[in-house]
Amino acid sequence: MSENVRVRFAPSPTGPLHIGGVRTALFNYLFAKKHNGTFVLRIEDTDQTRYVANAEQYIIDSLDWCNIPFDEGPGKNEKFGPYRQSERKELYKQYADELIEKGWAYYAFDTAEELDAHRKDHEEKGKTFIYNWHNREKLQNSLGLSTEEIQSKINAGEKYVVRFKTPQDETLIMHDEIRGTIKIDTNTLDDKVLFKSDGMPTYHLANIVDDHLMKISHVIRGEEWLPSMPLHVLLYKAFGWDAPKFAHLPLILKPVGKGKLSKRDGDKLGFPVFPLEYTNDETGDVSRGYKEDGYFADAFINMLALLGWNPGTEQEIFTLEELIQAFDLTRVSKSGAKFSPDKTNWFNQQYLQQKSDAELTKLYLPILREKGISIDENFVEKVVSLIKERAVFVADFWELSNFFFENPSEYDEKAAKKQWKEGTSDLMKELVEVISKIDDFNIENAQTEIKGWITAKEIGFGKVMQPLRLSLVGKLAGPDLFEIMTMIGKETTVKRIENAISNLF
Ligand code: GLU
């Protein structure tokens, strides 16, 4: 790509960033990095009624956690700043004026009540009211007025908005990098408001002006913005600017495959839809986050990258660097991508297995400390090596390994009934003797002595090993018993068997 790639992620700070938004940021980031371009963060906060104070920080923290930092944005390399639209508001009016001057826009004085009345009237006739070529001449706007008339209305303090004058009877031919050619009849479009009566631009005007001023080369955003594309393309035409390339990403669908995954689905469907935990300052409601739920950022990102994009091979596990190399807009699909919480867990499990025992130990130690267990790091690392293959999260470690640190406090009832039969206690007493006699209690010696004794007695291994497991672990689970015994030591092993004998008979 010869041109200078500059892309932007342009969220509106209206609440926490949904995973769909994170995916949009990620695809922009991957595309920018692949082409040695620039990834811009722009905060689109022109709609003051939906503004949420902690949302911007949340967005920045989320990108940080995901390890996809922006190159330019609020407080960072402000080459084309400011990057908050509320701080650029003085700038937009001149562009609205320019369009009016060129005949691409007009003042509209219709009040909210008047427009409501039109809407109702249309509804009653089974129609939909659209402010466009069809009726604009009959509405309260500047199209039929002289410059003086317009000025005197404005001077008299009449409230107005600026509307785009959509061209009539044209077929607009547009190109989307993912969807190909899109044609639209301009007569189906409405004359969207570009500038509001409160002196603020609407999303459409601010978005186009800023993309132009910030020299954005590619607009990569969610499918929900596809209906705005015709207006945006027309705005570029009206200003006489080169339009950026557009790419509209497919929706992320609910796990059932139908319907867009919404912000509310997290609580309903039992998995997080936000990268980080989020507290709603107004209601105090807390929404779960992937980070706090124990997901690794790299696993989360890997999962997101494959939602709507595929590398064209069977490869599923990608480092961020590999994703950058492999990413290509032409391999982004047009159809919605089904979100799968199970697949997300699978990714986490894969990443957990890839992490070194030392790294995982660092993550496990604070959990142990919280439980009041302070123990040699090497011991914990050995434990981690024995149990990690069964874990999806670091938080699973305790359930999988508590018996390395404390005696079982109870015994699985069903297992006890099945494994602790008549004669088991006597067998276990004999086993205690066998174990007590082993001087150097290492795996090899323990195996030789215990297995030798079982063989000599001519009984099945399960008759001894299952009750032994129950004694040491409390249930029929866990890694190799000889590993467990030698790690907890001879004394503890004997004590646990004796405990079991006195509890299970
Ligand atoms: N502010 C819009 C949003 O919240 C940006 C859409 C776009 O990228 O053009 O998603």
Give tens-digit pLDDT for 156-181.
Answer: 999 999 999 999 999 999 999 999 99
Give tens-digit pLDDT for 48-73.
Answer: 888 888 999 999 999 999 999 999 99
Residue 44 alpha carbon to ligand 1 centre in Å: 7
Is the pLDDT at 144 greater than 90? The verdict is no
Pick the residue whose CA is nearest to atom 6 on ligand 1.
10
Q: Does 272 contact ligand 1 (Cβ within 6 A)?
A: no
* Residue 1 domain-assigned (yes or no): no
* Residue 276 domain-assigned (yes or no): yes
Give the residue ranges of DSSP H helices in 388-476: 397-401, 413-419, 424-436, 443-457, 461-473
- Name the helix (H) or strand (E) containing 209: helix 203-213
pLDDT, residue 427, reads: 97
For the entire predicted model, the pTM comes to 0.93
First to last CA, the chain: 76
Residue 206 alpha carbon to ligand 1 centre in Å: 11
Taking the CA of residue 207 as reference, the ligand 1 atom at the shortest distance is 9
Q: Which two tokens stand for residue 225?
A: 């913005």
Residue 361 alpha carbon to ligand 1 centre in Å: 41
Asked whether residue 94 falls in the same domain as residue 112, the answer is yes
Asked whether residue 337 falls in the same domain as residue 380, the answer is no
Pick the residue whose CA is nearest to atom 10 on ligand 1.
11
Taking the CA of residue 232 as reference, the ligand 1 atom at the shortest distance is 9
Is the pLDDT at 1 greater than 80? The verdict is no
Asked whether residue 287 falls in the same domain as residue 334, the answer is yes
3-state secondary structure 258-312: CCECCCCHHHHHCCCCECCCEECCCCCCEECECCCCCCCHHHHHHHHHCCCECCC
Is the pLDDT at 2 greater than 50? The verdict is no
Instruction: Identify the CATH number of the domain in which residue 480 sits.
Output: 1.10.10.350
Asked whether residue 181 falls in the same domain as residue 321, the answer is no
Asked whether residue 217 falls in the same domain as residue 128, the answer is no
Give tens-digit pLDDT for 365-401.
Answer: 999 999 999 999 999 999 999 999 999 999 999 999 9
Confidence at 263, pLDDT banded by 50, 70, 90 = confident
Q: How far apart are CA 75 and CA 43, in angstroms?
A: 12
* Residue 80 domain-assigned (yes or no): no
For 41-110, the DSSP string reads E-B----GGG--TTHHHHHHHHHHHTT---SBBTTB--TT---BGGGGHHHHHHHHHHHHHTTSEEEE--
Taking the CA of residue 220 as reference, the ligand 1 atom at the shortest distance is 8
* Residue 93 domain-assigned (yes or no): yes
The full length of the chain comes to: 505
Number of domains in the chain: 5
Is the pLDDT at 269 greater than 90? The verdict is no
Q: Is 258 annotated as a binding residue?
A: no
Asked whether residue 240 falls in the same domain as residue 271, the answer is no
Residue 141 in 3-state DSSP?
strand
Asked whether residue 335 falls in the same domain as residue 244, the answer is no
Pick the residue whose CA is nearest to atom 3 on ligand 1.
11
Q: What residue numbers bound the domain in which 388 lies?
A: 356-395
Give tens-digit pLDDT for 409-463.
Answer: 999 999 999 999 999 999 999 999 999 999 999 999 999 999 999 999 999 999 9
Which residue from 26, 46, 86, 207 has its CB within 8 A of the most atoms of ligand 1, so it is best to mutate? Answer: 207
Greatest extent of the chain over all pairs of C-alpha atoms, in Å: 113
Instruction: Identify the CATH number of the domain in which residue 242 sits.
Output: 3.40.50.620
* Listed residue (204, 211, 224, 114) closest to 163, CA to CA: 204
User: With 0-12 CB in 10 A as exposed, 13-18 as middle and 19+ as buried, what is 409?
Assistant: exposed
Report in angstroms the alpha-carbon separations of 253 from 104, 171, 212, 313, 337.
38, 32, 32, 23, 6
Pick the residue whose CA is nearest to atom 2 on ligand 1.
11
Average pLDDT along the chain? 96
CB 112 within 8 A of CB 196: no
Catalytic residue IDs: 263
Percent of the chain at pLDDT above 90? 94
